[in-house]
Chains A and B, each alone.
Chain A
Amino acid sequence: MSGHRIAAITRRLLQGFRRDRRTLALLFVAPIVILGLLGYLMRGSSSAPQVGIANQDSGALGSVVANALRQSSHIKSTDINASDGDAKLKDGSLVAYIVLPADFTQQAQAGNVAPEVHLEGSQPGEDTPVIQALQQAMISLASGVAGRNVSFQPHITYLYGGANYDTLDYFGAAFVGLVVFFLVFVITIVSFLNERSQGTLERLMASPLRRGEIVVGYMLGFTVLALVQAAEVLIFALAILRIHNEGSVLLIFGMEALMAIAAVNLGIFLSMFARSEFQAVQFIPLVVVPQVLLSGIIFPVSTEPTPLQWLSDVLPLTYAVNGMRDIMVKGADLTWGSLELDAGVVLGFCVLLIVAGTTTLRRRLG
């Protein structure tokens, strides 16, 4: 071991980085961006869920509990008619609604209340604040029944999913698409760069090939690979992991295919801005991580701080993730307006990237 020779290696490394501004920027800017985003997402979230209250109690105690629910910090409540509840769960304006039945006061006096809790159910853990709020509201019953102990047995129903529906079901639906998107993106950006660095792109440019032909040819080639991968991922997710699926397998596959095509074109487009594979790999944290954080996979878009919601609304992955969940969790088909929107946005994004990739692929090298 020679300290001198080791120092030579260390010095050479640092000298190289001094000239590579982009890598330096990545090294010092990216962690702040990613952590900052994460912090803002988690701390800044407006997280109290929207809960509807339908008080049908003919007695007095129902409105006491309803009042206590309105004061709760765990939920944001609105008064609704029980008959509108399911529609509001479906359109996403409510996460849950609570029905206090007509004989609620009698139940309380008999010592055993069973309010109905209707949950949207697609997102694990969303029942916790609702049950918490309800439990606290029950304390206010104590005065009404003169100190008698009231046992509390809510009657819980789920619009989607159900009691067996777990975290993997929720995340799995989104990850099936994300895995394909991510891997296809990395493979495309690196192989397109190879084409540049090994000099074959110059040869292609000096051939009668049109730019559009190069881009579309690449797209088809990688899409074939991506579709095989998508099929494999899907079979594994459904048959081995037994991820909850309500929708059509063909539709899931179609959505995966759209995401793969978007990823291919994103890779081609971004490879124009990298000079080496090293730089290309740096696009991964910068492009992929914020998109994953903001796409609603982990943190539902509706609970994000408002400025981040705007950002989420223009990122294609948000729509892709939402579409996958709609299909797999809610059993959406193409008659659903929301799924049409999701698929349409991802498709539009593909077209936009094909055009962008083609125009940035310079016919001339200088």
Chain B
Amino acid sequence: MSETYTVSVEDVSKSFGAFKALNGVTLRVRQGEIYGLLGPNGAGKTTLIRLICGLLEAHAGTVTVLGQRMPNVGVLRHIGYMTQQAALYPALSVEENVRFFAAINGAEDGVKEALELVQLYDRRGSVVATLSGGMRQRCSLACALVHRPELLLLDEPTVGIDPQLRVQFWEYFRSMAAAGTTMVVSSHVMDEADRCQRLGLIQYGRLLAEGTPAEIRGQGGSQNLEEAFLALAGRRES
């Protein structure tokens, strides 16, 4: 083995009944890297992320996280998972939510830091049901990273939030990656791709291409990532 990866997905397939949601996907994520999982709605991004944290089991192929075959309960305390919808307890306050997720991960000392990172420390007493969508999204992020996981899985974290907050989110991600956290961020918005170190393009459950944004541009033959994606998708179909 020349290199060890934080996440390594090898030739993974997953079906729901007769429907193949993932078909022979292989990708590898290095430590401290921001990996962008890009693809349209229904491409299989959420399914892939659930496989990586062991919520689903692959029908074929293997998923390895931090050196352990998934699903593996022992690895879970090193993973942070931000689900696609902001999954929070609406009747609890911001701080109570974050404290709960800290407690089940055995990391209550991280609450204040997490709240400060997402700039909700001043709003920590607000009940989640009364928050705006963007604040909920930030609270959800705080819940995912409060136990300082080595691997953060973020499923479309920037969907439905305003451009200002989106810029902020990417700043958080960059500073965490700089501190050594590995991140897998899914998105269906191509213009976020340039913020990732490496990208995996996914469509109809298949990985179309993988590489740095520059490499993807080269493979697709276009300076515009959106066009490059369409070119790669078209090539696959023909």
Which A residues fall within an 8 A CB radius of B? 198-200, 202-210, 363-366
Contact = CB atoms under 8 A, between A and B. Distances in A.
Interface stretch (B86-94, B165-173, B200-208): B86-94
Given A200-B88, A208-B73, A365-B56, 11 more contacts: A198-B88, A198-B89, A198-B90, A199-B83, A199-B85, A200-B87, A206-B54, A207-B104, A207-B105, A210-B73, A366-B14
Nearest to B76: A208
Nearest to B84: A199
Contact of B104 (A198, A202, A209, A364): A209
29 contacts: A198-B87, A198-B90, A199-B86, A199-B87, A200-B87, A200-B88, A202-B83, A202-B87, A203-B143, A204-B104, A206-B54, A206-B76, A206-B81, A207-B76, A207-B77, A208-B76, A208-B104, A208-B106, A209-B104, A363-B55, A363-B71, A364-B54, A364-B55, A364-B57, A365-B50, A366-B14, A366-B16, A366-B50, A366-B56
B229 interface: no
Of all A-B residue pairs in the complex, the 5 with the closest CB atoms, nearest first, are A199-B87, A206-B81, A208-B77, A208-B76, A206-B53
B216 interface: no
Nearest to A362: B55
B83 A203 contact: yes
Contacts of B101: 203, 207
B115 interface: no
Interface of B: 14, 16, 50, 53-57, 71, 73-74, 76-77, 79, 81, 83, 85-90, 101, 104-106, 143
B182 to A, nearest CB: 16
B71 A364 contact: yes
Nearest to B56: A366
A199 to B, nearest CB: 3
Nearest to A201: B87
B87 A206 contact: no
A205 B104 CA distance: 11
Contacts of B105: 207-208
A206 B90 contact: no
Nearest to B87: A199
Contacts of B85: 198-199
* Residue of A206, A209, A365 with most partner-chain B CB within 10 A: A206
Contacts of A203: 81, 83, 87, 101, 143
Contacts of B53: 206
A359 to B, nearest CB: 16
A29 B178 CA distance: 62
A202 B81 CA distance: 9
A200 B106 CA distance: 18
Contacts of B14: 366
